[in-house]
Each structure stands twice: as structure tokens, then as C-alpha cells.
Amino acid sequence: MNEKNDKVSADKPVFNEGKQYHIECKPGDLQGPVLLPGDPDRAKKIAETWDEHKLVAAHRQYNSYTGKIKGAPISVTSTGIGTPACEIAVTELLNIGCDTFIRVGSCGAIQDGIELGDMIINTGAVKMEGSSPFYVHANFPAIANYEIVLALIEACEDLGYTYHLGIAASTSSFYLGQGRPGFQDYKISKTDAIVPDLQKMGVLNFEMEASHIFTLSQIFNARAGAICTVYANRVTNEFGVKGEKEAIKAASFAVKILSEMDEEKQRKQKKYWYRKID
């Protein structure tokens, strides 16, 4: 029986029964789509809203729970901040058989008409992070799965939440990489151009993980999407912790909707879901 003090492959640090080194989960531990918050505390908050849940593992920043919502299986694993930590989580989740992911996060809006606490459902992301280039060429698109986008839209509509649909910019930097000044107001020449350039391109928001989650999911035939609540409004220069409960509720509700979509596809023997499938 392999334990963490035993020797295993350095290329693939996997222990007894396929338990992954970082997330400490093995095949079968997590059921259903996996919600991906960055914050370990948010993972706990998410799980506590379900009809039933149990803690599966807690190691470093990777806290995992599994349970059910309205009869549908659902799980959550926190990823930590940024794509390097997120790469570990998603890779190890793929290793244990997970194939559907929804990022549940916070973000900074950069377009007019978006308020603190609004939901942003991202259809794709600009890869301004350092992990995806190790997997794909620079011009490879980072796109959300359409079924998850539709499920998130339906969830927000049913719950009465204000939401916006569009492209994110996923960065590896919270400060200068998002056009903010750093320590002692440090900037370089390109810092001030980041926000206006992205605004001209129609990008809605900054966040720090979605593009790599989308990229990995596209490569490995998984489904991925993202919903973020707006904590920062870069147009009005306001910041406030608002909408976390709504983002959690919408993401969990979307899992139930996805479950219904998948059941319908299976019943009708269809590969892709679409309205009026009969």
C-alpha cells in the first residue's frame, strides 16, 4: 500500500488506488460536475448549500467535497489562485475521471453597465496567463462549453440574477497584469494600456483561472464553463465583496440543469443537447 512516505514515479506522483498527490482524491471519490472556486473557504460554503455533502480531502489549498443537489451528483474542489495552482487541480481531477468543470469565482469588470454583485458568464477567455503556452500555441482559443453556458444562463434567469455574457481576460498578475499599480505605485509603459485595449476588444472582465480551465478541457474532451461575481468595477473604481452567494447558487443550480440535459441526451441518443430535442 503506497503512502506519501513511499517512493512513486516523479513524473506521475500517484499513490494507492490512484490517489493524486495534491488533491488527495482517487477515482470514484468525486461524483458529478466539479465546481472550481479558488478559495478553499468558498469550497466549504458551496458544499454547505447542497442537500447533502461530505468532505473528501483537504490538502494544501485543495479542499474537495462531494454530495447531491436536488438528486443530482455534484462536487467541488478549490484550486487556489492563478493558473499554476489551477493546472494541478484540473489535471488531477481529469486523472480521477472528472469531466465537467464550472469555475465559481470573483472578477473585475471593465465595461460600462456592469455593477458590483452582477454575474458574468464567460463564453471564452483571452489567455494572458503563463500556463496555457506549455499546452497550446498562442492562437489556440480558450472557449467555454456551450452546454455549460446555456445551463448557467438558465440558472441566472430562473433565479432572477442580473448577468452578462462575454469574454474574460485571464491573467497571471493581479496588479500590473490587470492594469493596476503595484508597490509604491510602480508601473511600466504598457500597464496603462491594458484596460483600454481590452475594453476596445469588448472584453468584459479580468479573472485569473478560466482560460486555462477552458484550454485543458478542450484538449482532453471535457466540459468547462465559468461564472464570476463582480467584486471590482474598474470603470467606476469601486470594490466590494458582493454576489458570492448568488454565484454559488447559480453554479450549483446549473449542475442540476446539466444533469437534466445529459439525461435527455441519453434518452434520445444524442451527442449534443439542443432545444426541442424531440
Handedness of CA 195, 200, 203, 209 (dihedral sign): negative
Q: Which of 42, 103, 180, 223 is catalytic?
A: 180
Q: Which of 53, 103, 234, 244 is catalytic?
A: 234
Is residue 234 among the annotated active site residues? yes
Cα 269 from chain centre: 29
Cα 192 from chain centre: 27
Beta bridge partners of 142: 125
Residue 99: CA atoms inside 13 Å, Cβ hemisphere, count? 7
Is residue 223 among the annotated active site residues? no
Q: Which of 22, 59, 60, 260 is catalytic?
A: 22
Q: Which of 24, 87, 92, 207 is catalytic?
A: 92
Cα(255)–Cα(276) distance, rounded to whole angstroms?
20
Cα(205)–Cα(187) distance, rounded to whole angstroms?
21
Handedness of CA 115, 121, 126, 131 (dihedral sign): positive
> Radius of gyration (Cα) for the chain, nearest Å?
19
Residues classed as catalytic: 22, 92, 180, 234
